[in-house]
C-alpha cells in the first residue's frame, strides 16, 4: 500500500508518526479473528510498517488473503505464543463465551487485550482473561477503507504506554476517541457503530424517491450514491459544522427549503432519529447483559 493510502487511513497522523510508533514494538501481536474488521485492522498495521513476523493470527477459517500473509512472515494459527504483548479480539460476540477464556494462557503480566467485539463488557473480559490490562473498543464499518471511527475505554490496569500502543493500533483504521465511562459504549454503538446503516438507508430512500419523481431507477441510484458520499466527504473536510453546511445550501423559498420543511417538521427526521438511536442504545444494553 502506498504512503498516500496509508496516510488516508490515519486522519491527522502522518505515516512517519505511525511507522515510528511500530519501530520499537516488541513481543507478538496476536489477532484473534481475521474477518472483515480484524482483516481491515491487520491490513492497516502492515501498511504502517508493523513487522509481519511480530503478528500471529488465530483464525479457524482463514481467507485466501489471510493465508497468503504467511509467505510474508505472519504466523497463522501457531501452536503457541510465548511473548504476546497485545491480544486483539475481533471475533463475533456470540463466540465470546467459548473463545475468550481459551486466550488466558497467552496473557503475560505486561499484555494488553483489546476487544472490538460488540456487546461483551470489560467485566466479562476480566473474568475470562484474569487481572489484565483491557481496552474495550467500538469501531465501525468504514474502518474497511481506513475511514472509520473507534471509541475506546480502558480498565484501571491499562498503563500510559499500553494506552498509547492501543491508540496506535486502533488508529490504523481511522480516528480514535477515548472515554472513561464504559456505560457510554451503548450510545456510541447506536450512533457510530450502527450509524453507517442509517446513512446507507438514506441513500436507498433518496434513490427510491428519485425514481418515484420520474427518474430512471439506475440514474436515481447513481445520483443518490454520489450525493451522499460527496456530502459526507464535504462534511469531513469542512471546518463548518453540519448545520452550517445545511444552511449554506438552502435558499429561502427554494427547492431545498421546501424539502427541509418536510424533513424538519415536528414529525420529521429529528424525532425519528431520536427514536432510532434510543432503540439501538436499548438493544445494545440488552445484548451486553
Mean pLDDT computed over 3-23: 47
Mean pLDDT computed over 32-36: 94
Q: Is the pLDDT of residue 5 over 70?
A: no
Q: Is the pLDDT of residue 6 over 80?
A: no
pLDDT digits (tens, 9 = 90+) for 138-153: 999 999 899 999 999 9
pLDDT band with cut points at 50, 70 and 90 for residue 11 = very low
Q: Is the pLDDT of residue 262 over 50?
A: yes
> What confidence score (pLDDT) does residue 20 get?
53
CA 184 to chain centre: 16
Whether the Cβ atoms of residue 116 and residue 87 lie closer than 8 Å to each other: no
pLDDT digits (tens, 9 = 90+) for 54-82: 999 999 999 998 999 989 999 999 999 99
Q: Is 166 left (phi over 0), alpha (psi -120 to 50) or beta?
A: alpha
pTM of the model: 0.88
Whether the Cβ atoms of residue 103 and residue 84 lie closer than 8 Å to each other: no
Average pLDDT of every residue of the chain: 91
pLDDT band with cut points at 50, 70 and 90 for residue 7 = very low
Query: Three-state SS across 101-145?
Result: HHHHHHCCCCCEEEECCCCCCHHHHHHHHCCCEEEEEECCHHHHH
Mean pLDDT computed over 14-38: 77
Mean pLDDT computed over 181-208: 97
> What confidence score (pLDDT) does residue 24 get?
79
pLDDT band with cut points at 50, 70 and 90 for residue 18 = low
Amino acid at each position: 500500500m502506498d504512503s498516500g493510502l496509508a496516510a488516508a487511513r490515519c486522519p491527522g497522523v502522518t505515516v512517519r508518526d505511525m511507522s515510528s510508533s511500530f519501530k520499537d514494538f516488541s513481543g507478538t501481536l496476536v489477532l484473534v479473528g481475521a474477518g472483515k474488521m480484524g482483516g481491515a485492522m491487520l491490513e492497516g498495521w502492515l501498511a504502517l510498517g508493523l513487522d509481519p513476523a511480530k503478528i500471529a493470527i488465530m483464525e479457524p477459517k482463514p481467507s485466501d488473503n489471510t493465508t497468503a500473509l504467511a509467505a510474508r512472515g505472519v504466523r497463522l494459527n501457531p501452536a503457541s505464543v510465548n511473548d504476546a504483548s497485545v491480544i486483539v479480539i475481533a471475533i463475533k460476540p456470540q463466540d465470546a463465551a467459548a473463545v475468550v477464556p481459551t486466550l488466558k494462557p497467552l496473557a503475560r503480566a505486561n499484555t494488553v487485550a483489546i476487544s472490538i467485539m460488540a456487546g461483551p463488557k470489560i467485566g466479562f473480559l476480566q473474568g475470562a482473561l484474569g487481572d489484565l490490562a483491557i481496552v474495550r473498543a467500538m469501531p465501525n464499518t468504514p474502518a474497511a477503507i481506513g475511514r472509520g471511527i473507534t471509541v475506546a475505554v480502558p480498565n484501571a490496569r491499562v498503563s500510559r504506554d499500553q494506552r498509547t500502543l492501543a491508540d496506535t493500533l486502533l488508529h490504523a483504521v481511522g480516528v480514535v476517541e477515548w472515554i472513561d465511562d464504559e456505560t457510554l459504549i451503548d450510545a456510541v454503538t447506536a450512533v457510530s457503530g450502527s450509524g453507517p446503516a442509517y446513512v446507507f438507508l438514506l441513500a436507498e430512500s433518496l434513490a427510491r424517491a428519485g425514481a418515484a419523481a420520474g427518474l430512471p431507477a439506475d440514474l436515481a441510484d447513481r445520483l443518490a450514491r454520489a450525493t451522499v458520499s460527496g456530502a459526507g466527504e464535504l462534511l469531513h473536510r469542512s471546518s463548518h459544522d453540519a448545520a452550517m453546511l445545511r444552511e449554506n445550501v438552502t435558499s429561502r423559498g427554494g427547492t431545498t427549503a421546501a424539502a427541509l420543511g418536510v424533513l424538519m417538521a415536528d414529525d420529521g427526521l429529528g424525532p425519528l432519529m431520536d427514536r432510532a438511536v434510543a432503540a439501538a442504545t436499548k438493544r445494545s444494553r440488552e445484548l451486553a447483559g
